[in-house]
Amino acid sequence: MYKYLVQALLAFLILFSPAVANADDTACSAESEVDSLYALLQKGGTHADSLLLMQNIYDLTQEKSLKVNILKSIYSVANAEADSVVRATTLVHLANALQKNVPMLKTVSAAMDSLPDNSRKKEGKLFVEMLITDAMIASDTLSASAIIDSLAEQFRRAPANDPYARAGQLFAFCRRLSGATTGELLEQYYRQLENVVESVPMPTGAVRNLIYTRGAHLFTANGNFGKAIEIDKKMLALIDSLVATYAANGRPFRKHEPARYFCYTRLLSNYKGLSNNERTAYYNRILNLAKVNPDIAADLKNNERAHIYYYMSTGEWKKAIEAIKRQVDKPNNKKYRLQYLQALYEASEKTGDKQTQLEAAVELNKILTDKITKGSEQRYRELQIIYEMNKLQVENANLQASCRHDGFKNLKQVYIVVGVSLVALLALIFSLLAQNRKIRKMSARQQKATERLRSERNELQGAQRGLIEAREEAKKADRLKTDFINNMSHEVKTPLAAIVEYSRLIVDCIPGEKSKYLNRFADIIELNARLVLTIMNDVLDIASLEHGQMTVEKQPVSADMICKLALANVFENNKSSKPDVKIIYEPGDADFKIDTDMQRVCQVLMNLLSNAEKFTDKGSITLGYCLDDVRDVVEFYVADTGIGIPKGTEETIFDRFRQLDASAPGCGLGLYVSRLLATLLGGTVRVDTSYHGGARFVFTIPV
């Protein structure tokens, strides 16, 4: 019998092996593991070996329908071999996979009845009954009477002295109660349920997993950070225990990363109750999980909850604001909207972002107003439930009193029960009233903050309009300045040219001996005229570059030609005006064409060469170029043996009107214009900080 079952399962797995192998295209190692498990299963062996191989194939399978079929086959083999442990574990997995299918869950529950009577069976039976309860109870709001009726029915069906039955009663009650309230009353009963579940053996961990997950969500939503953190830490301990158990049983492929990921994310959502070390540790664990699990990486990218909580906990307010704005309006984040808006309000307040703070405050007001209304309704329902429960307790006490025929003693017991219930009821009423006052005060403060933010927004909008008007005036003044500079440049160039020409004409008309004396003054006039023209050209270039009016006309041009043209424009006959300075040209290994604007490239090189001559009194000035094939760029360089660039000023020298030597000619615009032109050409200009014995500038542009 066993042999035929294994053969049937093997045939089934081979038939659908593509679905298994391709369930996760990113997990090549998982595919190879599945293939190797098929091979081992075909070889046969003991029933224990075959069952373990089937369970490992199940752990590696991703497709839900295929997983269910594999579980059914495993259960059939385990049933034939009377392996109650595998049967119980398989039925729990099967129930978990069929959570919404009540008829199938009832079939699983019936199969549980055939197992030996031990803690594994009791836990499995309880887990299945919880899933059936969960699926059958509607999410609609229930009346207090309906909730109490269901509780009474539970008490009639099963004795409360059995902890497993008691856990089932409490779960059903909490599930129905959650339809009426999510407040302190529900928290109280979830604590009771947690205590009962932890008081009995739970070998598979399925029940505790379900209770811890529900409880963590409840306490987190209610802002009870301490309790939520406590439960999630228990959840992590449970996961560690399950990992160790599965590994010891030869099942290393069982996936627990998603459970850890959601647990760490919930812990981070309660960051106000965590230490700095805990926040960092949990966040790093999430990032590490995302590196090894593609599904977690995708969820972390699409739902940035972990990032948001971590940014808020570390005070990275701007990052938090950006992430919240991307997430807050997504439909799947509706249940986190209040938490996100509160974080957005806090972060925008810290950064002084009044507009975002106002928008968050307006949305918070709406939610808090609705919360107050719903909170009042919930408290009313809680009082009704407590009243009905007190009635039920009194009726039970009276019933016990009549059965025992001990009137006086049981009457006293009734009075005690009623008295304790009334005290508990009064305490809850005072607690609810205090909480209600607290929420109303918070809403009032929120309303005042909103009004204050509206006022500040109006002031900011007024200031913004003033700034816009001032900006327009500044633009107008800037245009007038540019027009004035353009007109003045044209008016100045012509007289300067005339002064230079007439000074030369005068020198030429004077006899030889006197002309030598006057020639020195003519040179001074020409030098200063060139200096004034250079300044005027630089100012015009700056105006054009800063206003985006300068255009680039690209065409193929020789790198060697550009360099020779720049040298010819700066140095007459390739010689410096300073006798102790030598001009050196270092062409590359081979000439090549560059698709660029020759005039603008020449202008940058001329500025660099002129700058080098200005600060070099002895030694050499070198111009060269080389091709970088890797980056597909050409590097021009101008090196000198002058005074050099002081450390720490390598960037400031590119500021306009910045000069290292105030006594040097010029007004400090050459390097500023050069960097603007380089940017326009898609390149860069920088100081080579590794060069010593002078200065070396590197000008890089794309080929």
- Contact status, residue 158 vs residue 197, Cβ threshold 8 Å: no
Mean pLDDT along residues 292-319: 91
Cβ-contact 462, 499 below 8 angstroms:
no
Assess whether pLDDT exceeds 70 at residue 296.
Answer: yes
Which residue, 49, 47, 25, is CA-closest to 37? 49
Residue 658 in contact with residue 674, Cβ under 8 Å? no
pLDDT, residue 489, reads 65
pLDDT at 160 over 60: no
> Regarding predicted confidence, which is higher, 165 or 497?
165
Q: Which of 570, 663, 672 is nearest to 621 (CA)?
A: 570
Would you state the pLDDT for residue 427?
63
In a domain, 671, yes or no: yes
The β-bridge relationship of strands 619-628 and 581-586 is parallel
Establish if 342 belongs to a structural domain: no
pLDDT at position 26 is 43
pLDDT of residue 316: 92
Tokens, residue 85 = 């442990």
Handedness of CA 183, 187, 193, 194 (dihedral sign): positive
Which of 244-253, 440-449, 688-697: highest mean pLDDT? 688-697
Q: What integer pLDDT is reported at residue 323 of this predicted model? A: 92
**Residue 23, pLDDT score:** 39
pLDDT, greater one: 662 or 476: 476
Residues 432, 569, single domain; the answer is: no
CATH number of the domain where residue 565 is located: 3.30.565.10
Predicted TM-score (pTM) of the model is 0.55
Is residue 403 assigned to a domain? yes
From 31, 52, 82, the end of a domain falls on: 82
**Residue in the structure block whose two tokens are 């399925």:** 206
The residue out of 427, 451, 466 marking a domain boundary is: 466
- pLDDT, mean over the chain: 77
Q: What is the pLDDT of residues 119-153, one digit of tens each?
A: 889 999 999 998 888 888 754 445 545 555 555 55
Instruction: Output the pLDDT for position 695.
Output: 92
Same domain? For 561 and 670 the reply is yes
- 3-class DSSP state for residue 696? strand
Give the model's pLDDT for residue 262.
93
Q: How confident is the model at residue 74 (pLDDT cuts 50, 70, 90)?
A: confident
pLDDT of residue 321: 92
Same domain, 462 and 559: no
Residues 567 and 689 in one domain: yes
**Tokens 């808090």 label which residue?**
368
Q: 3-12, 563-572, 598-607 — which is least confidently predicted?
A: 3-12
Strands 684-687, 619-628: pairing kind? unpaired
Instruction: Collect all residues with Cβ–Cβ distance below 8 Å to 25 and sequence separation of at least 6.
Output: none
In the chain, the amino acid numbered 677 is L
Q: Which residue has the higher pLDDT, 571 or 501?
A: 571
* H/E segment holding residue 289: helix 276-292
543-553: pLDDT as tens digits: 666 666 667 78
Phi/psi for 161 (5° steps) reads -80, -15
Residues 561, 697 share a domain: yes
What pLDDT, on a 0 to 100 scale, did the predictor assign at position 54? 79
- DSSP letter, residue 580: T
Which of 670, 665, 658, 653 lies closest to 542, judged by CA? 670
> Is there a domain that residue 340 lies in?
no
Residue 549 lies in a domain: no
In 439-559, DSSP assigns E strands to 555-558
Number of domains in the chain: 3
377 confidence band (pLDDT: 50, 70, 90)? low
Rounded to 10 degrees, the C-alpha dihedral 434/440/445/447 comes to: 170
Cβ-contact 349, 379 below 8 angstroms: no
Q: Which two tokens stand for residue 629?
A: 């094939």
CB of 503 within 8 A of CB of 530? no
Q: Is residue 390 part of a domain?
A: yes
Which residue would you say has higher pLDDT here, 237 or 497? 237
Strands 593-596 and 555-558: antiparallel
Beta bridge partners of 622: 584, 639
Which residues form the domain of 396? 367-466
DSSP 271: G
Q: Is residue 636 part of a domain?
A: yes
Task: Read off the pLDDT of each residue in 182-186 and give the average, rounded to a whole number.
Answer: 77
Q: Which residue has the tokens 């100012």?
A: 539
**Residues 566, 433 share a domain:** no
Of the residues 407, 439, 466, the one at which a domain ends? 466
Mean pLDDT of 302-323: 91
Looking at the domain assignment, is residue 113 inside a domain? no
Residues 580, 445 share a domain: no
